[in-house]
């Protein structure tokens, strides 16, 4: 049991470092000029959407075996990448119609946050599901422990990595970014969606 808990925690932490878990949020954060605090709040919201779907799927797999796994894998292979690509296309479109951006803080566009959260919700961590399946024979209390470890480790990992990425980006000169923010954001989102499709 302890081996399963340690393994799930390790996998969860390193899984959170995958670029598709934080790069789209970081790109939108720079484009929308969010503060660090707001970026971390959005990262938390999007991260919770991701872990929620993973835990729901994991509980289903633990309870009913692998029947849902093949269907969910097929669904997520197309839906999440397509949503990221559409969001990226929106920013590229916006770039060519609104070329000038300002560095003051803007209200959160919740449609963007919802799109990111929905994309992550429909892209559960399939790698961790094996731990849920293995936890099944130990009963529901242990399954819930696996879920809790996964949730805490994944969201914490995403927020830690986001903080490190933001602090590193502070050293860059953002003048060129200001004039191409929409284009760069759109390209990053579309690349994230394509990579998610290819490596899913």
CB atoms within 10 A of CB 1: 11
CB contact at 8 A, 49 and 118: yes
Q: State the average pLDDT for the chain.
A: 77
Please give the Cα distance from 80 to 46 (Å, whole number): 13
108-151: pLDDT as tens digits: 567 888 888 888 888 887 778 777 877 877 788 988 998 999 99
CA atoms within 13 A on the CB side of 134: 13
Q: Is the CB of residue 88 less than 8 Å from the CB of residue 180?
A: no
For the cut 50, the answer to whether the pLDDT of residue 157 exceeds it is yes
**Is 183:88 a contact under the CB 8 Å cutoff?**
no
Condensed to tens digits (0 to 9), the pLDDT of residues 27-66 reads 888 888 899 999 999 999 999 999 999 999 888 887 765 4
Angle at 37 between CA 36 and CA 39, to 5 degrees: 65
Both tokens of residue 114?
A: 């919802």
Helices (H), the chain: 2-15, 23-32, 36-64, 67-97, 110-121, 129-135, 140-169, 175-199
Rg for the chain, CA atoms, rounded: 18
Q: What is the pTM of this model?
A: 0.67
Which has more confidence, 116 or 198? 116
The pLDDT of residue 102: 43
- Owning domain of residue 176: 2-199
Predicted pLDDT at 121? 87
Number of domains in the chain: 1
Q: How confident is the model at residue 104 (pLDDT cuts 50, 70, 90)?
A: very low
pLDDT at 75: 60
Question: What is the predicted pLDDT for the residue at 110?
Answer: 76
Burial of 194 (0-12, 13-18, 19+ CB in 10 A): middle
Distance CA 185, CA 165 (A): 15
Distance from C-alpha of 125 to C-alpha of 131, rounded to nearest angstrom:
11
Residue 129 corresponds to which tokens in the numbers above?
A: 């599901």
Mean pLDDT of 180-199: 67
Distance CA 122, CA 196 (A): 12
Reported as a pLDDT band with limits 50, 70 and 90, residue 71 is: low
Q: Give the percent of the chain with pLDDT over 90.
A: 20
Q: How far apart are CA 197 and CA 77, in angstroms?
A: 6
How far apart, in whole angstroms, are the C-alpha atoms of residue 184 and residue 169?
A: 15
């Amino acid at each position: 049991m302890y081996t399963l808990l340690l393994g799930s925690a390790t996998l969860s932490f390193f899984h959170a470092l995958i670029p598709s878990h934080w790069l789209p949020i970081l790109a939108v954060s720079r484009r929308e000029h969010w503060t660090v605090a707001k970026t971390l709040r959005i990262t938390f919201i999007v991260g919770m959407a991701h872990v929620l779907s993973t835990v729901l799927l994991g509980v289903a797999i633990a309870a009913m075996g692998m029947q849902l796994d093949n269907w969910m894998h097929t669904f997520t292979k197309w839906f999440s990448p397509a949503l990221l690509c559409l969001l990226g296309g929106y920013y590229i479109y916006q770039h060519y119609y609104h070329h000038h951006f300002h560095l003051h803080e803007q209200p959160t566009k919740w449609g963007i946050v919802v799109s990111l959260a929905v994309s992550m919700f429909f892209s559960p961590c399939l790698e961790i599901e094996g731990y849920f399946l293995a936890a099944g024979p130990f009963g529901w209390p242990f399954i819930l422990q696996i879920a809790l470890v996964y949730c805490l480790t994944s969201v914490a990992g995403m927020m830690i990595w986001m903080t490190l990425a933001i602090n590193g980006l502070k050293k860059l000169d953002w003048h060129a970014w200001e004039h191409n923010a929409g284009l760069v954001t759109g390209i990053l989102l579309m690349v994230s969606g394509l990579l998610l499709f290819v490596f899913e």
